[in-house]
Amino acid sequence: MTTRIESIHFTADQKLIDFIQKKLDKLDQYHDRIIDAHVILKLENTGQVKDKVVEVKLDIPGDLIVASESSKSFEAAVDEVSSVLKRLLIRHKERVRSH
């Protein structure tokens, strides 16, 4: 799986990029044919505490799975979005198997 990480309005440090890569690599055990992962890191100026947004688009054969989460830190948002993607991948795999 190739991973593209895009940070908007700031520069992501290498530690954050490595953390995201490690989390996304674990998704391969739930769906073995993930082609591409596009991660978008955004800072929102809404004045709220949860102003760090992580959006992940996974390209799998025949479908595109998108999940987005916001939190106080990018690490927490990546944790949340990876658990959402895990559930979505399992659900997609079961749906494909039932056909």
DSSP string, the chain: -EEEEEEESS---HHHHHHHHHHHHGGGGT-TT--EEEEEEEE--SSSS--EEEEEEEEETTEEEEEEEEESSHHHHHHHHHHHHHHHHHHHHHHHHH-
The residues spanned by each domain of the chain are 2-98
Work out the pLDDT band at 18, boundaries 50, 70, 90. very high
Work out the pLDDT band at 96, boundaries 50, 70, 90. confident
Q: Lowest mean pLDDT of 3-7, 46-50, 61-65, 87-91, name the range.
A: 46-50
What global pTM score does this model have? 0.91
**How much is the average pLDDT of 8-17?**
92
- C-alpha 78/C-alpha 53 separation (Å) is 9
Residue 36 above 90 pLDDT? Answer: yes
What is the third-level CATH fold of 2-98?
Double Stranded RNA Binding Domain (3.30.160)
Please enumerate in sequence order all residues whose Cβ is within 8 A of that of 77, keeping only pairs 6 or more positions apart, or say none: 52, 53, 54, 69, 70, 71
